[in-house]
Amino acid sequence: MKLPHPVSLLFLSLMSASGAVLADDAAVLACRQLAETQARLACYDAMPVGVRAVAAPVAAAPAAAAPAATAAGAEQRFGLEQVKRKAEEPNSIASIIEGEFSGWEAGAQIRLANGQVWRVVDGSSAVLTPMKNPKVKVTRNLLGTMFLEIEGTNNSPKVRRVR
């Protein structure tokens, strides 16, 4: 009597057990449609594992549970994100540096009129002709690096948001 190959036995045992651990495809697709992270996680957590739903699909979280971020809220979060940013997040913000500004040095913290504080992180420095309330723009390049563009100069230090 010839015994089956060990790999074949493993394959057969995995195939027979896989039905018990698969969630309902419709439930997975419903959860995947949710944009808000907490609601999506709650949807996945609520899925029955090992039971295939035939008649009753998993109810999706109501749309009101995932409110859209306002433009002001997105601007306030600019530069603080630690994870991959969402498509609705801005690529830049504009503000001014209140008072007189005459340059920066490595590690300097620059406070903007909108309350944000940015630190120069590239080791650069610049001595500029003193300016009163210069307009600035913090922009993000394709790799996520932030630069502070200061009106009246071509120098743009690499910055990271502190507050």
91 versus 69: the higher-pLDDT residue is: 91
If asked whether residues 57 and 89 sit together in one domain, one would say no
Instruction: Kindly state whether residue 134 falls inside one of the protein's structural domains.
Output: yes
pTM for the whole thing?
Answer: 0.49
Per residue in 73-112, pLDDT (tens digit) is 778 778 776 656 566 788 999 999 999 999 999 999 999 9
Instruction: Decide which of 65, 80, 100 is a domain's last residue.
Output: 65
Q: Is residue 1 part of a domain?
A: no
**Judgement on whether residues 86 and 148 belong to the same structural domain of the protein:** yes
Which range (12-26, 87-101, 111-125, 130-144) has the least confidence?
12-26
Assigned domain for 48 exists: yes
* Shared domain check, 77 and 60: no
Dihedral, 93, 148, 161, 109 alpha carbons, nearest 10: -130
Domain with 94, as residue range(s), is 71-161
Confidence of residue 53 (pLDDT cuts 50, 70, 90): very low
Residues 16 and 75 in one domain: no
Per DSSP (E only), the strands in the chain are 92-96, 100-104, 109-111, 117-120, 126-132, 135-140, 146-150, 158-161
Q: How many domains, the chain? A: 2
Are 26 and 45 in a shared domain?
Answer: yes
Lowest mean pLDDT: which of 20-24, 43-47, 55-59, 74-78? 55-59
